[in-house]
């Protein structure tokens, strides 16, 4: 169908926010290819599940037959590649799936996209885009006085997760340079917002604090991240897709650099106000310093001048307003939380935070 886009990993945190925003603000058809790993959740897309513009296909990006069938049947004008294993701590405990999905899966998707794109009529070939969604973690770690990462910063990944994303970014670059596939790559900072799986810092802290459980902070809690509200990221992706220059990469960030301790204390303070009768108040009494993550990157910061200057995108949400909306969302979605924190989640928490 003309104007259809193919989204991979659309049942995850950012992918589902992207699809919901796309359907409401753009409204052209979306095919969502997702394997439904522990991180994929069709509940996130419940409100559009019977919308005729949206179709879900359960499948693996590494499965060449599934991917080539989707290209042949739906003739998408663009691919937005979100599918990935995305949690650093899991990549440390078991890197295999990260290499399989993030590296080999991206390679398979690129190969099938190339085969499809090469056979398109000229006018459609010109318009086709392959947008690869990546991370600031590929650039490695900054010292306290270092300048923020820009698009020319050399890659220096430190975790199996960031190394697998860096490898995928290199493949995407090579497919543009070698074959002319019209690719775009975005490198974004830490996202937060609705539908984030509660293994990541912000939703984990909201859930634990509101249920009287310890708030685990790795090391000294002074590691710095740049935080971006997920819907701002989704808007940035739409700008890059619509107006980005092919073959280019764009940094995306929130201009909101904060250390982990500050993040946790902010969440605790908002919960003190919203839930004064919780088991443990003030919630900050639940803060517990735990063993540091191996190879823990000290600081990420993003220079976003390129996307601001060239595409006119800038984040709308401040951290203060975004975190409040996020906390409220988690407090109002107990059913969603109950579902995602069943068996497999409990197993991860029990193993990872043991001792």
Binding site for ligand TYD (CB under 6 A): 88, 190, 200-201, 204, 216-218, 223, 225, 260, 293
Contacts of 45 (CB under 8 A, 6+ apart): 10, 11, 16, 19, 20, 32, 54, 56
Pick one of ligand NAD, ligand TYD, none as the site partner of residue 226 (Cβ within 5 to 8 A by kind).
none
DSSP letters for 301-332: -B--HHHHHHH-------HHHHHHHHHHHHHH
x-marked contacts with ligand NAD along 81-110 as a string, rule CB under 6 A: -xxxxx--------------x---x-----
* CB closer to ligand NAD out of 188 and 286: 188
Answer yes or no: are the C-beta atoms of 187 and 170 closer than 8 Å. Answer: no
Dmax of the chain from CA atoms?
A: 64
Asked whether position 34 contacts ligand NAD by CB under 6 A, the answer is: yes
Q: Is 161 a catalytic residue?
A: yes
Pick one of ligand NAD, ligand TYD, none as the site partner of residue 14 (Cβ within 5 to 8 A by kind).
ligand NAD
**CA pair distance 129, 277, nearest whole angstrom:** 51
Pick one of ligand NAD, ligand TYD, none as the site partner of residue 39 (Cβ within 5 to 8 A by kind).
ligand NAD
* CB closer to ligand NAD out of 129 and 165: 165
Asked whether position 225 contacts ligand NAD by CB under 6 A, the answer is: no
**CA pair distance 335, 181, nearest whole angstrom:** 43
Interface with ligand NAD (CB under 6 A), residue from 4, 91, 106, 191 = 191
Count, residues in the chain: 355
What's phi and psi for 26, nearest 5 deg? Answer: -110, -55
Q: Which of 34, 60, 85, 136 is catalytic?
A: 136
Catalytic positions: 136-137, 161
């Amino acid at each position: 169908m003309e104007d259809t886009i193919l989204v991979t990993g659309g049942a995850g945190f950012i992918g589902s926010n992207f699809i919901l925003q796309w359907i409401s603000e753009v409204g052209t058809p979306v095919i969502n290819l997702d394997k439904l790993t522990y991180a994929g959740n069709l509940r996130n897309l419940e409100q559009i599940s019977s919308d005729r513009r949206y179709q879900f296909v359960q499948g693996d990006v590494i499965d060449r037959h599934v991917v080539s069938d989707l290209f042949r049947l739906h003739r998408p004008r663009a691919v937005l590649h979100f599918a990935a294993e995305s949690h650093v701590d899991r990549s440390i405990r078991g890197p295999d799936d990260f290499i399989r999905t993030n590296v080999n899966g991206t390679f398979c998707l690129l190969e099938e996209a190339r085969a499809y794109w090469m056979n398109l009529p000229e006018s459609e070939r010109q318009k086709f885009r392959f947008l690869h969604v990546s991370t600031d973690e590929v650039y490695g770690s900054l010292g306290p006085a270092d300048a923020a990462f820009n698009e020319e910063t050399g890659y220096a990944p430190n975790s199996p997760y960031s190394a697998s994303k860096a490898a995928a970014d290199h493949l995407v670059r090579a497919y543009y340079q070698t074959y002319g596939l019209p690719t775009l790559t975005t490198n974004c900072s830490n996202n937060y917002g609705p539908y984030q799986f509660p293994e990541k810092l912000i939703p984990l802290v909201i859930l634990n604090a509101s249920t009287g459980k310890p708030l685990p902070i790795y090391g000294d809690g002074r590691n710095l991240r740049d935080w971006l509200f997920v819907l701002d990221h989704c808007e940035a992706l739409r700008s890059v897709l619509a107006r980005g220059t092919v073959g280019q990469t764009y940094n995306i960030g929130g201009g909101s650099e904060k250390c982990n301790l500050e993040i946790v204390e902010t969440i605790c303070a908002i919960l003190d106000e919203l839930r004064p009768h919780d088991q443990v108040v003030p919630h900050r009494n639940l803060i517990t310093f735990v063993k540091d993550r191996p190879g823990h990157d000290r600081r990420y910061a993003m220079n976003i001048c390129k996307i601001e200057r060239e595409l006119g995108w800038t984040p709308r949400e401040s951290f203060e307003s975004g975190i409040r909306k996020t906390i409220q969302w988690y407090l109002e979605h107990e059913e969603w939380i109950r579902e995602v924190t069943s068996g497999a989640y409990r197993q991860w928490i029990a193993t990872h935070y043991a001792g």
